[in-house]
Amino acid sequence: AQSVTQLDSHVSVSEGTPVLLRCNYSSSYSPSLFWYVQHPNKGLQLLLKYTSAATLVKGINGFEAEFKKSETSFHLTKPSAHMSDAAEYFCVVSDAGTASKLTFGTGTRLQVTL
Amino acid sequence: AGVTQSPTHLIKTRGQQVTLSCSPISGHRSVSWYQQTPGQGLQFLFEYFSETQRNKGNFPGRFSGRQFSNSRSEMNVSTLELGDSALYLCASSLHRLNEQFFGPGTRLTVL
């Protein structure tokens, strides 16, 4: 079975500094991986997805992630944090043959301070 | 318009049953349901495509769902328990291989 592990439950950065949210995956096949963001009292929004094309994936709002098969990692990065980035971030893997059955990581809460 | 869910909030008592509704983005044929709780996080409930359940998560039989010919979906929880209190999220996608778009959720409180 596939799974994802988010290595940090909470990350705090200063505004303007880089963001790194770490995710490792486990899958018996070539996975489809996603990052979703959830702002307080709002639904989940797709940031980016990896589906075996380019290993460096660019998403919305300046976020990007790199798929590293040798390290089974899919870390999310952003060069410069903004206050509006404060939210819960989920690393997600989909089941084989469908992107409609998602397995979520436990989430990383990103705090951005002045 | 995005994925819409109704109602937004719901309060029920133990033993009752509840039906939640989800309207997917126009043209989307795949609908999935997820439960979000502080303790268990986000967990997959079911996936529907073309009115057929394609996948089911590890939930008891009290949780059921269906999809209509217009792709709208409902989920039902019978004999509610306190532990069913959660945010229930619906997601739709164009097809089973496309990324999902989530609705705002229905907040269910069981007293």
pLDDT beyond 90 at B1: no
Q: Is A103 on the interface with B (CB under 8 A)?
A: yes
Residue A38, pLDDT score: 96
Residue B104, pLDDT score: 94
pLDDT beyond 90 at A97: no
Query: Smallest CA–CA separation between B104 and chain A, in Å?
Result: 4
Does the bond joining B7 to the residue before it have cis omega, within 30 degrees of 0?
yes
For A33, nearest residue in chain B (alpha carbons): B99
Q: What is the DSSP string of A6-75?
A: ES-SEEEEETTS-EEE-EEEE-SS---EEEEEE-TTS-EEEEEEE-SS-SEEE-GGG-EEEEETTTTEEE
What's phi and psi for A84, nearest 5 deg?
-70, -10
Residue A47, pLDDT score: 96
Contact call for B99 and A42, based on CB within 8 A: no
Residue A17, pLDDT score: 98
pLDDT beyond 90 at A95: no
Q: Please give the average per-residue pLDDT across A50-73, as a whole number.
A: 91
pLDDT tens, residue by residue, B51-77: 999 999 999 999 999 999 999 999 999
Q: Backbone dihedral region of B5: left (phi > 0), alpha (psi from -120 to 50 degrees) or beta?
A: beta
Query: Smallest CA–CA separation between A103 and chain B, in Å?
Result: 7
pLDDT beyond 80 at A41: no
Alpha-carbon gap, residue B7 to A58, rounded angstroms: 35
Nearest CB neighbour to B98, from listed A36, A90, A99: A99
Paired sense of beta strands B9-12 and B106-110, if any: parallel
Residue B72, pLDDT score: 97
Which residues are paired to B108 by β-bridges? B10, B86
Cα angle B58, B63, B68 (rounded to 5 degrees) comes to: 115
Q: Please give the average per-residue pLDDT across A39-46, as a whole number.
A: 88
User: Which position has the higher pLDDT, A58 or B95?
Assistant: A58
Q: Please give the average per-residue pLDDT across B80-88, as a whole number.
A: 97
For A41, nearest residue in chain B (alpha carbons): B104
Q: Is B47 on the interface with A (CB under 8 A)?
A: yes
For B5, nearest residue in chain A (alpha carbons): A43
